[in-house]
Amino acid sequence: MRTCVIGGGSWGSAFALHLGRKNIDTRLWIREKDIYEDAVRFRENKIFLPGAMFPSSVSFFNDEKEAIESSEIVFIAVPSKFCRNVYTKIQPYLTSKHIIVSLTKGIEDGTLKRMSEVIGEVFSSHFTPRIAVLSGPSFAREVAAAHPTAVVVASKDISLAKEVQHFVSGSNLRAYTSEDILGIEIAGALKNVIAIAAGISDGLQFGDNSRAALITRGLAEIARLGITLGAKRETFSGLAGVGDLVLTCTGQLSRNHYVGTEIGRGKRLEKVVSHMNMVAEGITTTLSGFQLAQREGIEMPIHEQAYLVLYKDKDPRTALQDLMARKLKNE
């Protein structure tokens, strides 16, 4: 099969590199003209994935139509805030024969829709899209370095999930399958909010006890919302749930944890973001996650405090103190 990866950031580039190592004919679409030209010239994404050299099986494109042409599986790895626009741009070049796999971990601002829902909304007026999502603990740099990684592929059509599973699995990446596309997407998106909270705690030098508490209670919040929306409880004990949550809250490569750490050290969000060349999805997901909880009437105190710190300038130390002062209850 020939495949296409839409998105030349760190994750899209790393995933294209992985597929290329499997000798799959892979086309990587890169939006930024300078990064595209560098990739063609040096076979490296010097901005988002420096040091990782693409094999000859990966080719680079700056035109969406040319990238998608003749591809059978299209992986989309762009930040959630750009997804609807990108989906709209590539829609004319796709048909019901294509498999569309979302690699994005986020919730659309405003609509509060998951990425698979946005895909369905954009494409359904033209054809019924065959949709899967891929998630799990998978730092781009480690995938690019061929470190052993496990992910989960979810689709309402389990046969489709299995097809993608076999397509992406290899000696360094093992995929599992799930039919709980809702739970996989909710877990993948909201873990970034808890990572920001854990980073704030670390920035305040509160230590391992505090981080462990935030991870554990954060998982309870994510599962509470996900189950209310219709997800399966066991999803949150898996790779896309606790697996990705622990990685993002503790790993040194986590952008969201970095954002939280810098805020905990006293920096304002605007200044932190201005020094980053990659998107930390948890910033916008903090707002959308809080709004989802409000809409569903679900108590999510960590998400609420993260929202107040990021969007209402609440002092981080006060926010964590307020979490500790909440009414005592059963676990």
Dist. CA 11–CA 319, nearest whole Å: 32
Q: What single letter denotes the amino acid at residue 158?
A: I
For 319, residues 6+ apart whose C-beta sits below 8 A from its C-beta are 200, 305, 306, 308, 309
CA atoms within 13 A on the CB side of 76: 31
Dist. CA 275–CA 289, nearest whole Å: 25
Sign of the alpha-carbon torsion through 312, 318, 321, 325: negative
| DSSP 3-state of 67 | helix
The closest alpha carbon to 236, from 191, 198, 281, 301, belongs to 191
From the candidates 191, 232, 267, 271, give the one annotated as an active-site residue.
191
Question: 260, 195 in Cβ contact below 8 A?
Answer: yes
Dist. CA 326–CA 331, nearest whole Å: 13
Please return the burial class of 78, using the count of CB atoms within 10 Å of its CB with bins 0-12, 13-18 and 19+. buried
Q: Phi and psi dihedrals of 290, rounded to 5? A: -60, -40
| DSSP 3-state of 264 | helix
Please confirm, yes or no, whether 22 is among the known catalytic residues: no
The closest alpha carbon to 103, from 60, 145, 66, 151, belongs to 151
Dist. CA 55–CA 40, nearest whole Å: 12
Question: 66, 90 in Cβ contact below 8 A?
Answer: no
Tally DSSP H helices, then E strands, for the chain.
15, 10
Dist. CA 242–CA 250, nearest whole Å: 12
**Residues designated catalytic:** 191
